[in-house]
Amino acid sequence: MEIKVLPLGEIGANCYMLSTEKAAVVIDPGFYSETVSRFLIDNANKERLILLTHAHFDHIGGADSLRKNTDTKIGIGEFDNDTLADTKRNLSDLFHAKLLPFSADLTFSDNQTFSVGNINFKVLHTPGHTPGGVCYLTGDILFSGDTLFKGSIGRTDFYGGDFKTLEKSIKRLYTLDSKTTVFSGHGDATTIEEEKNFNPFIRG
Ligand SMILES: [Zn+2]
Protein backbone atom coordinates (compact mmCIF):
# COMPACT_ATOMS: atom_id res chain seq x y z
CA MET A 1 0.00 0.00 0.00
CA GLU A 2 1.24 3.44 -0.90
CA ILE A 3 0.54 6.24 1.61
CA LYS A 4 0.93 9.91 0.77
CA VAL A 5 0.44 12.69 3.29
CA LEU A 6 -0.60 16.22 2.41
CA PRO A 7 -1.07 18.78 5.19
CA LEU A 8 -4.01 21.01 4.24
CA GLY A 9 -5.21 24.40 5.44
CA GLU A 10 -3.78 26.96 7.81
CA ILE A 11 -3.64 24.53 10.73
CA GLY A 12 -2.03 21.88 8.53
CA ALA A 13 -4.25 18.90 9.28
CA ASN A 14 -2.78 15.82 7.65
CA CYS A 15 -4.75 14.44 4.73
CA TYR A 16 -3.73 10.88 3.83
CA MET A 17 -4.09 9.26 0.42
CA LEU A 18 -3.89 5.46 0.46
CA SER A 19 -3.67 3.44 -2.71
CA THR A 20 -3.28 -0.12 -3.82
CA GLU A 21 -4.01 -1.76 -7.18
CA LYS A 22 -7.64 -2.16 -6.05
CA ALA A 23 -8.35 0.72 -3.67
CA ALA A 24 -8.03 4.46 -3.18
CA VAL A 25 -8.87 5.98 0.20
CA VAL A 26 -8.66 9.58 1.41
CA ILE A 27 -8.53 10.24 5.14
CA ASP A 28 -9.44 13.69 6.53
CA PRO A 29 -9.60 16.06 3.57
CA GLY A 30 -9.70 19.14 5.78
CA PHE A 31 -9.83 21.61 2.92
CA TYR A 32 -10.59 21.29 -0.74
CA SER A 33 -7.47 20.29 -2.66
CA GLU A 34 -7.08 19.78 -6.39
CA THR A 35 -4.38 17.18 -5.67
CA VAL A 36 -6.75 15.09 -3.54
CA SER A 37 -9.59 15.46 -6.03
CA ARG A 38 -7.27 14.39 -8.85
CA PHE A 39 -6.14 11.38 -6.79
CA LEU A 40 -9.73 10.07 -6.52
CA ILE A 41 -10.55 10.84 -10.16
CA ASP A 42 -7.39 9.13 -11.40
CA ASN A 43 -8.34 6.06 -9.35
CA ALA A 44 -11.99 5.94 -10.42
CA ASN A 45 -11.55 2.35 -11.63
CA LYS A 46 -10.83 1.22 -8.04
CA GLU A 47 -12.98 1.00 -4.92
CA ARG A 48 -12.83 4.39 -3.22
CA LEU A 49 -13.88 5.95 0.08
CA ILE A 50 -13.39 9.17 2.05
CA LEU A 51 -12.83 8.50 5.76
CA LEU A 52 -13.09 11.07 8.54
CA THR A 53 -11.45 10.50 11.94
CA HIS A 54 -13.67 13.09 13.63
CA ALA A 55 -15.89 16.04 12.80
CA HIS A 56 -13.67 19.06 13.45
CA PHE A 57 -13.63 21.66 10.69
CA ASP A 58 -9.93 21.28 9.91
CA HIS A 59 -10.41 17.57 9.10
CA ILE A 60 -13.74 17.69 7.26
CA GLY A 61 -13.75 21.00 5.35
CA GLY A 62 -12.98 19.51 1.95
CA ALA A 63 -15.02 16.32 2.28
CA ASP A 64 -18.40 17.38 0.91
CA SER A 65 -17.02 19.07 -2.22
CA LEU A 66 -14.66 16.14 -2.75
CA ARG A 67 -17.61 13.74 -2.54
CA LYS A 68 -19.55 15.77 -5.11
CA ASN A 69 -16.63 16.21 -7.51
CA THR A 70 -15.51 12.60 -7.45
CA ASP A 71 -18.70 10.65 -6.64
CA THR A 72 -17.09 9.04 -3.58
CA LYS A 73 -18.86 8.19 -0.33
CA ILE A 74 -17.92 9.55 3.11
CA GLY A 75 -17.62 7.50 6.31
CA ILE A 76 -17.28 8.69 9.94
CA GLY A 77 -17.73 7.34 13.48
CA GLU A 78 -21.43 7.10 14.37
CA PHE A 79 -21.29 9.59 17.26
CA ASP A 80 -19.63 12.39 15.26
CA ASN A 81 -21.96 12.31 12.24
CA ASP A 82 -24.40 14.91 13.65
CA THR A 83 -21.49 17.27 14.31
CA LEU A 84 -20.83 17.51 10.55
CA ALA A 85 -24.01 19.57 10.36
CA ASP A 86 -23.39 21.59 13.53
CA THR A 87 -21.08 24.51 12.81
CA LYS A 88 -20.69 25.31 16.52
CA ARG A 89 -19.62 21.83 17.55
CA ASN A 90 -17.40 21.29 14.50
CA LEU A 91 -15.65 24.59 15.36
CA SER A 92 -16.39 26.17 11.98
CA ASP A 93 -17.99 29.19 13.68
CA LEU A 94 -15.15 29.61 16.19
CA PHE A 95 -12.48 29.55 13.47
CA HIS A 96 -14.60 31.40 10.86
CA ALA A 97 -14.26 28.47 8.46
CA LYS A 98 -17.75 28.99 6.97
CA LEU A 99 -18.47 25.28 6.50
CA LEU A 100 -21.83 24.22 5.13
CA PRO A 101 -23.60 21.47 7.09
CA PHE A 102 -23.42 17.98 5.59
CA SER A 103 -23.66 14.37 6.71
CA ALA A 104 -21.80 11.16 5.95
CA ASP A 105 -23.02 8.24 3.82
CA LEU A 106 -21.66 5.60 6.20
CA THR A 107 -21.28 5.58 9.97
CA PHE A 108 -19.06 3.18 11.86
CA SER A 109 -19.43 1.63 15.31
CA ASP A 110 -16.66 0.51 17.64
CA ASN A 111 -14.77 -2.59 16.45
CA GLN A 112 -16.56 -2.56 13.10
CA THR A 113 -14.53 -3.96 10.23
CA PHE A 114 -14.90 -3.04 6.59
CA SER A 115 -12.85 -3.18 3.46
CA VAL A 116 -12.20 -0.89 0.53
CA GLY A 117 -10.92 -2.98 -2.36
CA ASN A 118 -8.17 -5.07 -0.79
CA ILE A 119 -7.58 -2.77 2.21
CA ASN A 120 -9.13 -4.06 5.43
CA PHE A 121 -9.94 -1.59 8.19
CA LYS A 122 -10.95 -1.93 11.80
CA VAL A 123 -12.66 0.99 13.54
CA LEU A 124 -11.64 1.87 17.08
CA HIS A 125 -13.99 4.33 18.78
CA THR A 126 -11.63 6.62 20.71
CA PRO A 127 -13.68 9.40 22.34
CA GLY A 128 -12.15 12.17 24.43
CA HIS A 129 -11.09 14.75 21.83
CA THR A 130 -14.59 14.56 20.35
CA PRO A 131 -17.43 12.23 21.46
CA GLY A 132 -17.37 10.25 18.20
CA GLY A 133 -13.70 10.29 17.26
CA VAL A 134 -12.40 7.06 15.74
CA CYS A 135 -9.05 5.62 14.72
CA TYR A 136 -8.73 3.45 11.62
CA LEU A 137 -6.46 0.42 11.90
CA THR A 138 -5.21 -1.43 8.84
CA GLY A 139 -2.59 -4.10 9.42
CA ASP A 140 0.15 -2.50 11.52
CA ILE A 141 -0.84 1.04 10.57
CA LEU A 142 -3.11 3.29 12.64
CA PHE A 143 -4.66 6.57 11.54
CA SER A 144 -5.21 8.26 14.88
CA GLY A 145 -6.78 11.60 13.97
CA ASP A 146 -6.49 14.04 16.88
CA THR A 147 -6.56 11.32 19.54
CA LEU A 148 -2.81 10.68 19.69
CA PHE A 149 0.13 12.66 18.29
CA LYS A 150 3.87 12.16 18.32
CA GLY A 151 4.75 13.43 21.81
CA SER A 152 1.30 14.89 22.40
CA ILE A 153 -2.42 14.21 22.68
CA GLY A 154 -5.61 15.80 21.42
CA ARG A 155 -7.09 18.87 23.09
CA THR A 156 -9.98 18.20 25.46
CA ASP A 157 -11.24 21.76 25.90
CA PHE A 158 -13.55 21.82 22.86
CA TYR A 159 -17.20 20.70 22.79
CA GLY A 160 -17.57 17.13 24.09
CA GLY A 161 -13.91 16.80 25.03
CA ASP A 162 -12.90 15.04 28.24
CA PHE A 163 -9.40 14.21 29.45
CA LYS A 164 -10.25 11.06 31.43
CA THR A 165 -12.13 9.69 28.43
CA LEU A 166 -9.22 10.51 26.12
CA GLU A 167 -6.78 8.88 28.51
CA LYS A 168 -8.85 5.69 28.45
CA SER A 169 -8.95 5.76 24.64
CA ILE A 170 -5.19 6.23 24.37
CA LYS A 171 -4.51 3.44 26.89
CA ARG A 172 -6.58 1.25 24.61
CA LEU A 173 -4.37 2.25 21.65
CA TYR A 174 -1.35 1.33 23.79
CA THR A 175 -2.61 -2.28 23.80
CA LEU A 176 -2.04 -2.50 20.03
CA ASP A 177 1.11 -4.16 18.71
CA SER A 178 3.96 -1.89 19.84
CA LYS A 179 5.39 -1.81 16.30
CA THR A 180 2.20 -0.22 14.95
CA THR A 181 2.95 2.94 12.97
CA VAL A 182 0.76 5.87 13.96
CA PHE A 183 -0.19 8.46 11.35
CA SER A 184 -1.69 11.38 13.27
CA GLY A 185 -4.00 14.21 12.34
CA HIS A 186 -1.22 16.74 12.76
CA GLY A 187 2.58 16.48 12.66
CA ASP A 188 4.92 13.55 12.15
CA ALA A 189 4.26 9.82 12.27
CA THR A 190 5.22 7.83 15.35
CA THR A 191 4.78 4.32 16.77
CA ILE A 192 2.74 2.90 19.64
CA GLU A 193 6.00 1.85 21.33
CA GLU A 194 7.47 5.36 21.15
CA GLU A 195 4.35 6.96 22.62
CA LYS A 196 4.01 4.37 25.38
CA ASN A 197 7.58 5.11 26.43
CA PHE A 198 7.94 8.83 25.78
CA ASN A 199 4.56 10.57 25.48
CA PRO A 200 4.73 13.20 28.26
CA PHE A 201 0.93 13.30 28.72
CA ILE A 202 -0.04 9.62 28.87
CA ARG A 203 2.43 6.78 29.49
CA GLY A 204 1.71 3.16 28.74
ZN1 LIG B 1 -9.78 17.91 16.17
Residue range 4-23, pLDDT digits in tens: 999 998 888 999 999 999 99
164 C-alpha to ligand 1 centroid (Å): 17
How many Cβ atoms are within 10 Å of 100's Cβ, its own excluded? Answer: 11
- Judge whether 12 lies within some domain: yes
- Judge whether 141 lies within some domain: yes
- Judge whether 203 lies within some domain: no
Split at pLDDT 50, 70, 90, the class of 201 is very high
162 C-alpha to ligand 1 centroid (Å): 13
- In this structure, what CATH number is given to the domain that contains residue 112? 3.60.15.10
Residue range 112-163, pLDDT digits in tens: 999 999 999 999 999 999 999 999 999 999 999 999 999 999 999 999 999 9
129 C-alpha to ligand 1 centroid (Å): 7
Split at pLDDT 50, 70, 90, the class of 203 is confident
Do 97 and 59 meet the contact criterion of CB atoms below 8 Å apart?
Answer: no
53 C-alpha to ligand 1 centroid (Å): 9
108 C-alpha to ligand 1 centroid (Å): 18
Residue 147's pLDDT is 98
C-alpha–C-alpha distance, residues 36 and 27, integer Å:
10
- Judge whether 204 lies within some domain: no
Q: What string of H, E and C letters represents the secondary structure of the chain?
A: CEEEEEEECCCCEEEEEEECCCEEEEECCCCCCHHHHHHHHHCCCCEEEEECCCCCHHHHCCHHHHHHHHCCCEEEEHHHCHHHHCCCCCCCCCCCCCCCCCCCCEEECCCCEEEECCEEEEEEECCCCCCCCEEEEECCEEEEECCEECCEECCCCCCCCCHHHHHHHHHHHCCCCCCCEEEECCCCCEEHHHHHHHCCCCCC
- Judge whether 117 lies within some domain: yes
130 C-alpha to ligand 1 centroid (Å): 7
For residue 68, give every residue at least 6 positions away whose Cβ sits within 8 Å of its Cβ, in sequence order, or none: none
- Judge whether 174 lies within some domain: yes
Split at pLDDT 50, 70, 90, the class of 37 is very high
Split at pLDDT 50, 70, 90, the class of 45 is very high
Residue 180's pLDDT is 98
122 C-alpha to ligand 1 centroid (Å): 20
C-alpha–C-alpha distance, residues 165 and 92, integer Å:
24
Residue range 68-95, pLDDT digits in tens: 999 999 999 999 999 999 999 999 999 9
21 C-alpha to ligand 1 centroid (Å): 31
Residue range 89-124, pLDDT digits in tens: 999 999 999 999 999 999 999 999 999 999 999 999
Neighbours of ion ligand 1 (CB under 5 A): 56, 146
Do 3 and 18 meet the contact criterion of CB atoms below 8 Å apart?
Answer: yes
- Judge whether 129 lies within some domain: yes
- Overall number of domains in the chain: 1
182 C-alpha to ligand 1 centroid (Å): 16
163 C-alpha to ligand 1 centroid (Å): 14
Instruction: Please give the residue range of the domain that contains residue 138.
Output: 2-198
Do 47 and 117 meet the contact criterion of CB atoms below 8 Å apart?
Answer: yes
CA 53, chain centre distance (Å) = 3
